[in-house]
Amino acid sequence: MSMREDKEFQEFRDLMKRPDHFEDGFNMSTVLMGLFVGLIMAPASVYMNLVAGLHMGSAAQWVTVLLYVEIARRAFKKLKRPEIFVLFYMCGAAMAAGGQGWLWRQFIAQSEELRKMGLLEYIPHWYAPTNPEVLANRSFFMIEWLWPLAIGALTLLLGRIDNFGLGYLLYRLTADVEELPFPMAPVGAAGMTALADASEDKETWRYRVFAMGAAIGIAFGALYIGLPAITGAIFAEPIRLIPIPFVDLTGYTQNTLQATPVMISFDLGLVVTGMVMPFMAVIGSLFGVLFTMFFNPTLYNQGILNGWEPGLSAIETVRSNIFDFYFSFNLGLMIAVALIGFLHMGSKFKAKRREMDEMGRTKVDWSKLFNPPEGRGDIPIWLGLVIYIVSTLLYIWIAWSLVNRFSGPLTHGAFPLWLLIFYGFVYTPIMSYIAARMEGIVGRQFTLPFVREATFILSGYKGAAIWFAPIPMHNHATQVEQFREMELTGTKFTSLMKAEALTYPLMIIGTLIFAQFIWNMGPVPSEMFPYANEFWELNAYNQGLIWTSTMPDAGISPFQEAFRPEYLGAGLGLAMALYGVLAHFNLPVFLVYGMVRGLDQSLPHAIIPTVLGAVIGRFGCRKWFGDKWPQYRIVFAAGFGAGLGLATMFALGFVFMSKSANLLPI
């Protein structure tokens, strides 16, 4: 009997066919470009984030691959899709490792906000040393840092190996057996294919648009990051033509907008981000910010935001409001976002499932699980299962040992072993499978918020070490998506194993060296790193409120004071009511997400320029470029990020040389 074909499903499944043959994408060229990313782009990304809160993200991958393409063209070599995929993968891994994590650890060990909460004495020595004399040396190459470095290297290794465990098993199940379409995978694979085709001596619109974005990014980066960095290395005070990271206007508006942080940013990158983001999501966030600006004075006059007083800065206002109201209110918003996402994706999931049933797709051919396509470089299913079991057991053993045997002071009780087993062998596979199927059918993942935190609190454990331990709670849906992209580009899976073998030592050694160099330049955070100086203590405060929930002290913890169930219910109820109203009028779901995002007291310095970018993109650029604008804006944004990264790399090289000269012994 013939079955009805779902055109959309078939369109995504057949957008890119599985290749007939697969090739190895790992060679000496990709090794050299991987070293370029790990030794140049990654430290530049860390520096950009510390100074201005900017993330290069995929821009680093773009600029590296395009540089690779240009070199290949001049060598009269045509690149293959597997080579480009492996390079993309290596770039992503190197950028994710960064090195900022080590700088964050030394900051946490001496955070003033955590000191006020009484948390510093509970930070375990295997996470970071808390001795002020050790931290004053600003050096990771001390015996006191040996434990943190060793544990960090081990857990990173387990994480990389685990990609070929449960992530690989879920890929085989969802892509090979169930034949899910993975609608977003062909998009990434097609981009790599276009780059491979462009390696021939042909000019494409991507290069022109990318170059335009890169030129603007270089010009802005030279003024925004380059000028302050270079002048700061030469003179006593840096020259800043553009304020970093924002201008605080709270002191001018405090009489009208009580308990409301008001600031403005001149970061052009936020404008570019607004051009790329869904328009309705940005407009929704603007509505949320405007609502909050009028909502906060009402809460202040009602005596709810009673910790605020005139004269507080924007960041101090945010910190006070979080403790008085928004800590619990935001938890309600988080739960609402998860519920809204589940309802929205659940309806699409059921519709797709029905269509697949009609096509006969749900008839599972389990033989495909044990007979992968020939030449793809698959590993045996039993090996993937062994990798998953062994890596999870090691995670459990490490976490239990660190928390219960090698940690700081505890008053009573220990973290239960059964809960760690539950995380690794029940929660992780179930949630990863659900997220992978969501990704495979509707192109979006689903996660449950606050599960980790809630289980820690309810476990009966007393202490803070569990918050720093490597807990076996993972979502492997992203890795499943990467396996699908790798298949569509005709890349052998063995290429990924070789790439992992190279990027792992690069991430361990390179990130540590550059983290050390940046820390040698000066305390982190400090005036040298404006963004970190403004926001890191606030981030530590937000995390510290959660961590105090398991403190062994008999008194009332800051968490107990900040957690108010009625405020949580208010956030949940308001967000769900907004969703109900907007859904009734059939308004875009992105508008709902944007509104909920704005209601969490999002700082207006980021929202306002993002809205400006969205308006320019929607009513200016779309009119000028027509239907091609959705394609142009992605490449333009990547070019802008790459140009900004190049300007930062130049400034960072100058700063490094200057500081190296200053640090040399006479």
**Residue among 544, 551, 276 nearest 412 (CA):** 551
In the chain, domain spans: 7-663
Lowest mean pLDDT among 302-306, 479-483, 593-597: 593-597
Residue 164's alpha-carbon distances to 330, 379, 381, 385, 491, in angstroms, are 36, 9, 10, 9, 15
316 CB-near residues (< 8 Å, 6+ apart): none
Q: Does the pLDDT of residue 636 top 60, yes or no?
A: yes
Q: Which pLDDT does position 8 carry in this prediction?
A: 42
Q: Which pLDDT does position 73 carry in this prediction?
A: 72
Give SS3 for 70. helix
The answer to whether residues 634 and 209 touch, using CB atoms and an 8 Å cutoff, is no
d(CA 225, CA 216): 14
pLDDT tens digits for range 453-491: 889 988 888 888 899 999 999 888 888 888 888 888 888
d(CA 560, CA 472): 27
**Residue among 646, 645, 597 nearest 277 (CA):** 597
Query: What are φ and ψ of residue 531, in 5° steps?
Result: -65, -50
Buried b (16+ CB within 10 A) or exposed e, 498-520: bbbebbbebbbebbbebbbbbbe
Query: What are φ and ψ of residue 129, in 5° steps?
Result: -70, 145
Q: Which pLDDT does position 541 carry in this prediction?
A: 93
Name the band, by pLDDT with cuts 50, 70 and 90, for residue 133: very high
pLDDT tens digits for range 481-524: 888 888 888 888 888 888 888 888 877 887 888 888 889 888 99
**Residue among 426, 433, 431, 437 nearest 392 (CA):** 426
Name the band, by pLDDT with cuts 50, 70 and 90, for residue 7: very low
The answer to whether residues 472 and 399 touch, using CB atoms and an 8 Å cutoff, is yes
Query: Which pair of structure tokens corresponds to residue 186?
Result: 């062909």
Name the band, by pLDDT with cuts 50, 70 and 90, for residue 381: very high
d(CA 626, CA 231): 42
More confident residue, 555 or 162: 162
Give SS3 for 17. coil
The answer to whether residues 475 and 435 touch, using CB atoms and an 8 Å cutoff, is yes
> Model's pTM, two decimal places?
0.82
Q: Which pLDDT does position 641 carry in this prediction?
A: 78
pLDDT tens digits for range 107-116: 999 999 999 9
Query: What are φ and ψ of residue 23, in 5° steps?
Result: -125, 160
Question: Angle CA(59)–CA(167)–CA(86) in degrees, nearest 5?
Answer: 40
Q: Which pLDDT does position 317 carry in this prediction?
A: 93
Query: Which pair of structure tokens corresponds to residue 179?
Result: 């034949």
d(CA 236, CA 593): 45
Q: Does the pLDDT of residue 29 top 60, yes or no?
A: yes
Buried b (16+ CB within 10 A) or exposed e, 215-234: ebbbebbbebbbbbbbebbe
590 CB-near residues (< 8 Å, 6+ apart): 278, 279, 280, 281, 284
Question: Angle CA(327)–CA(333)–CA(337) in degrees, nearest 5?
Answer: 145
